[in-house]
Structure 1
Amino acid sequence: MVGLVVPTLNAEKEIRTLLDAVMAQTRVPDDILIVDSSSDDDTVRIAESYPGVRTMTIRRENFDHGGTRQLALDEVEGDFILFLTQDAVPADEHYVENLLVPFADPLVAMVYGRQLPKPNARRCVQLVQKYNYPSKSNVRSADDIERLGIKAFFASDVCSAYRRSAYETIGGFPRPCATNEDMLAACRFLRAGHKVAYESNARIMHSHNLTLLAQYRRNRAVGEFLARYSEELNAPSEVDEGGRLVKTVANQLMQEGEICELCAFVVDCGARLIGNRVGRAVGKEKIIRKPEGNADPE
C-alpha cells in the first residue's frame, strides 16, 4: 500500500495541476493526504473535490518541516509514504511507479526523484539543478560517506518516498526542524545501515528563481541547521562540494557566452555564502547559550 502526503499553504493555483497529474499515474497512491496550514483560499475545498483525497488542517504557526511531516506520516496509510510539495508536478504518468522501483532492494529506506526545471527557470538555475539531479540514478550506503562527504546525505522531500518500517527505526523526522529534515533523515538512514536511492526516472517539474534576499534567508536557515547537527552529520565540509558546483555551472555559462547569467550566478552564490556563514554563527551561538541538560524536543 502506498500513501502520499502534500503539505499546502494557499495552493489554490497549483493544487489542481498537481492532483490531476497524481490521478493520471500508472500507480495512483492508495491514500492521499493534503496537510493544509490554514489556507486563506480554496485549497482545501479543491482538494476535497477529488475522490480518495483527504485533508487535515493545522494552525499556520504550527507548521514545521520535520514535525508536520511526522504528523502527516502518522496519519496516512501505506508501507511506502511519498512526499510532494505543492509546486512540484510529476513530469509524466510513471512518476510514482518509477519512484518505487529502488525499494526492490530491502535495504533501501528512502528514495528521491529528479527535479527538472520549469520552463521559466533561469539558465543558472537550470544548470544547478542539472548538477544536483543528474540523469544517472544511484544508491548510497554508509560506505559512500567518506568518498562523497556531505553529498552522501543529499536528498529532497520535494519529491521523495520512505519505507515506513525503516523510517520507524530512526525515530521519524527530527522535530522541530525548520529545514533539511530530508538530509538529516538520509544521514540517519545511512548510519543505521540502510540505503538511500536517487531515481532519475522519477521526474517532477520544480524550480524557483529566488531573489537575493530569499536566497540569503534560505541559506541562513541551512547554515543554522548545519551548525545544530554538525556532530551528527560528521562529514567532510560542504565547502568542497559547493566549490565543485560553482565551478561546473560557471564554466558552462562561460562556454555558452551567458555573461549576464554568469554575473547573476556569482552574486547569487555570494548571497548563499553570506547566508550560510551567518546561519552557522547564529546556530553555534544558540548551542552555546542552550541551558545545560535541556535537550531539544524530538
Structure 2
Amino acid sequence: MSIAENSNILISIVIPVKNGGRWIERCISNIINQSLFPLSEIIVIDSGSTDNTIEILKKYSVQVHTIQPEAFNHGLTRNKGVELSTGQYVVMTVQDAWPADKHWLQKLLDGFTDDLVAGVCGEQLVPHTEEFSPLEWHVPQTDTKVKRYHFNTAAEFQQLTPNEKRRAGSWDNVTAMYKKEALINIPFEETVYAEDVIWAVTALKSGYALVYNPTAIVYHHHFESEEYTYNRTLLGLHYRHKYFGTAYREATPSRKLLRLKRLLFSGLPPAKIIFWLKYYFNKRKQARAAHKTFTSLSLQRTDTRINGVGFGPQKNGM
C-alpha cells in the first residue's frame, strides 16, 4: 500500500540497498506480509546498484531514492531515510534480511510501553536451510524475555561493568524500530561501522530507555570473504573496546564442538560439509589475525588505523 492509498502512515521501514537482486524480493515480500503493513511505508535508498535490484523494486509499492555510491555511509544514509519518512516510528533493516513471521513489526511496536522508550531491538538468526552454514544455524531460544534498559544519568551507565554495558548497548540495525522523534534528537553518526551501537550508547547516556525483544526475529546471514571477515572483526574489536571496554572472546571449546556436531549431523552431502568446514576455519583464521593486529596497536594508533578500514561494496547496503 502506498502513501497515496493511505495517508495514515504509522511505520516507515528504511532499507539501504546496493546490488541486492539476490535477496531484495524475499526481504520486501515478507515485509509486505506483515500484519501492520497497511499502516506502513517502505523507503529504499539505493547507492548505485548495477544488477537487477531496481527492476525488482518496480514490482512493489516502495519509494526508491538513489544516491551516488561514494555518498553511502552507514550513519548518514540511514539519516536520509529518516528525513524521507512520514511515520511516527522508523524501522531499520537490511536488504538480505527477512522477517521470521508476519508479526515482526507488531512485536517491535509493542515494546514502546512508555514515553522514555526511544527504540526496540529484535534479534537476527541464521535459519536452518542449506543456503547457509550449519555451523551458524541458530539454536532454540532459551531466553525470550523482553528486557528494558534505562539509566538516569550518563555516569550511571559508565559505572556498569563492560559486559553490562555490552548487554545494554548491543543494538542492531538489522531489526530495530525507533521513535522518529528520538532519531531527530539523536541522529546516527557519520561512521564506517557500528552506527547502531554508537546511537544506542548515546541514547542511554541521554536518558532514553531501550527495549530488547528477542522474539522480533529476522533471518539474516552474510557469506563473508576473508577480507570482509578480517575488516569486520577488526572494526568490531575497536568499537566494542571503545564503547563497552570489552575485549575479544574466543568461543569456548564446548561451543566449537557443538557447532561441528551440528554440521556433521546436518544431513548435508559430504562435499557440502567439507565446503562449510573450510569456510569456517578460514573465518576463524581471519578473526584471529584481526585480533592479533588489534592487540598489537596502542589505543591511539587503533583510532587512526581502524577508522580507515571500510567494508567496501560488500557491506554497502547490508
Give the shorter-chain TM-score range. 0.7 to 0.9
- In 2, Cα distance between equivalents of 1:273 and 1:152: 26
- In 1, Cα distance between equivalents of 2:18 and 2:63: 15
- In 1, Cα distance between equivalents of 2:260 and 2:24: 38
- In 1, Cα distance between equivalents of 2:150 and 2:140: 23
Say if 2:33 is the partner of 1:24.
Answer: yes
Counterpart of 2:194 in structure 1 is 180
Say if 2:65 is the partner of 1:56.
Answer: yes
SS at match of 2:49: coil
CA drift of 1:67 comes to 1.1
Choose from 17, 25, 38 the match for 2:48: 38
Counterpart of 2:22 in structure 1 is 13
Stretches of structure 2 lacking an aligned partner (at least 5 in a row): 1-9, 266-273, 306-318
How many residues align? The count is 276
Instruction: Give a deviation string over 1:131-169, Cα, whole Å, max 9, x none.
Output: 9x9544322233674361323211111111111222233
TM-score normalised by the chain length of structure 2: 0.75
Letter in 1 for 2:174: V
Stretches of structure 1 lacking an aligned partner (at least 5 in a row): 290-298
RMSD: 3.1
Structure-to-structure mapping, 1:160-171, within 5 angstroms: 160-170=176-186
CA drift of 1:254 comes to 6.9
Query: Whose helix proportion is higher, 1 or 2?
Result: 1
Preserved CA contact (<8 Å) 1:48 1:54: no
Choose from 256, 261, 264 the match for 1:250: 256
SS at match of 2:19: coil
Counterpart of 1:124 in structure 2 is 135
SS at match of 1:102: coil
Preserved CA contact (<8 Å) 1:219 1:279: no
CA drift of 1:16 comes to 1.8
Preserved CA contact (<8 Å) 1:250 1:262: no
TM-score normalised by the chain length of structure 1: 0.79
Structure 1 pair 284–135 and aligned structure 2 pair: CA distance change class (3 A): same
Instruction: Give a deviation string over 1:78-137, Cα, whole Å, max 9, x none.
Output: 11100110000111111111111101232221222121213133233225x879x95443
Choose from 98, 114, 120 the match for 1:111: 120
- In 1, Cα distance between equivalents of 2:303 and 2:231: 20
Preserved CA contact (<8 Å) 1:90 1:205: yes
Counterpart of 1:216 in structure 2 is 230
Choose from 197, 200, 206 the match for 2:211: 197
CA drift of 1:34 comes to 0.5
